[in-house]
Amino acid sequence: MLRTETPSPLHGALDTYAADKLVRTFVEDQYEAVRAVEAVADDLARAVDAAAPRLQAGGRLIYVGAGTSGRLGILDGVELLPTFSWPPERALGLIAGGPPALFKAVEGAEDDAEQGERDVQALAPTTNDVVIGVAASGGTPYVLGGLKAAQAAGALTLGLANNPGAPVAAAADIGIVLDTGPEVISGSTRLKAGTAQKIALNTLSSCLMVRLNKVHGNLMVDLQATNAKLRKRALSLTQRASGAPLEAAEAALAAAHGHVKLAVLMLGKQLNAADATALLAQHAGHLRAALDAP
C-alpha cells in the first residue's frame, strides 16, 4: 500500500477527539510537510539549476497534474504574473479533466494517460520548456502521459510525488519525492501531501524568478501594480531599493508606468525612462548589473 494511503497508527480514534485536540492534530501533522521538503532541498536546487537556463532562453513552465495536485500546479503558475510579471503564456497549467476539474472532480480523467500525452503535445513543447508533473500517489496515468510527451519533445521534466519509488519521479529527468507519510485522514492527500507540494512548487518557482532577475536583494521589483494595495507596495519598494524620498520615487514610478525596476534604475543612474529601459535590456533585466554599469 502507498504510504499516503496507509492509515495513520496515531489517530485511529480521530472521530472521538474534542475540537481542541482535533485542531491540534491536524495542525501538528502539517509540520511533516515542511520536513519532507527540507529532505529534498538538494533535488530542488538541481531542478533550479537545470530549469533556469531553459527559461532564460525563452522556455515555458508547464504544470501537469490531477485533482489537488493539478490545482496546486495551476495556482503556482497563475501567481507568477502579479508577483514577478512572468508572462501568462509562459506559465501553463494542465489538469486532468480540463478547466471544469478546477471546481468539480471529473471522474476517471486522471486515469487517461493518452489524454495527458495529447494535452501536452497540444502545447507544442520545445527543448527550452520545463514540464512539472505533480502527483501525490506518484502513479497518476494522466501525469505520466504528459511527462512522456514532454520528454519526447526534449523538454526538461520534473516529477513531484509523495511516495517513495513513485513512477512519476522515476520517469522525470529530476524526480522529487516529498515523503509525507500517512495522512491524519487516511488517503486524504489534500492535507500534508498537498501542503508539501505547495511548498515545493512555491520554492522552485520563486528560486527561478530570483535567478531570472525578477528580484533585487530580496525585493520583488518586477511586480504588477494592478490595484491600490499593489500600487502602494510598488511605491514602497521603489523607495526602499533606491533610497529616494517620496516625491522623487512617485515621479519616477509614474514615468516608468508603475515598473519598479525601471523606476529604481532611473533614480539610481539619473536617467530618463527610455535610456533606463535600454540599459536594463542590455543587462537582461538584471537591475543590480545595470546599476553597477559604468
Q: Which helix (H) or strand (E) holds 161?
A: strand 156-161
What pLDDT sits at residue 199? 98
Per-residue pLDDT, 1 = 83
User: Can you give the pLDDT at residue 207?
Assistant: 98
DSSP SS3 for 8: coil
What per-residue confidence (pLDDT) applies to 30? 97
Domain count within the chain: 2
The whole domain housing 236 covers: 228-292
Q: Are residues 67 and 196 in the same domain?
A: yes
Instruction: Mark whether 23 and 137 lie in a shared domain.
Output: yes
Pair (200, 152) in one structural domain: yes
pLDDT the model gives residue 222? 96
Q: How far is the C-alpha of 96 from the C-alpha of 78, rounded, in Å?
A: 17
Q: What is the CATH number of the domain that holds 66?
A: 3.40.50.10490
The catalytic residues are 79, 110
| Model pLDDT, residue 5 | 94
In this prediction, residue 237 carries a pLDDT of 97
Do 112 and 98 contact (CB within 8 A), yes or no?
no
| Residues 283, 194 share a domain | no
What averages of pLDDT result for each successive group of 10 residues across the chain (294 residues)? Answer: 92 96 98 98 98 98 97 98 97 97 92 98 98 98 98 98 97 98 96 98 98 97 94 97 97 97 98 97 96 95
Residue 251 domain flag: yes
Domain match, 192 and 244 both = no
Domain membership of residue 158 (yes or no) is yes
- Please give the distance of CA 284 from its chain centroid, rounded to a whole number: 22
Q: Tell me: do 241 and 196 sit in the same domain.
A: no
One domain for residues 31 and 124: yes
Question: What is the amino acid identity at position 237?
Answer: L
Report the distance separating Cα 262 and Cα 28, nearest Å.
Answer: 44
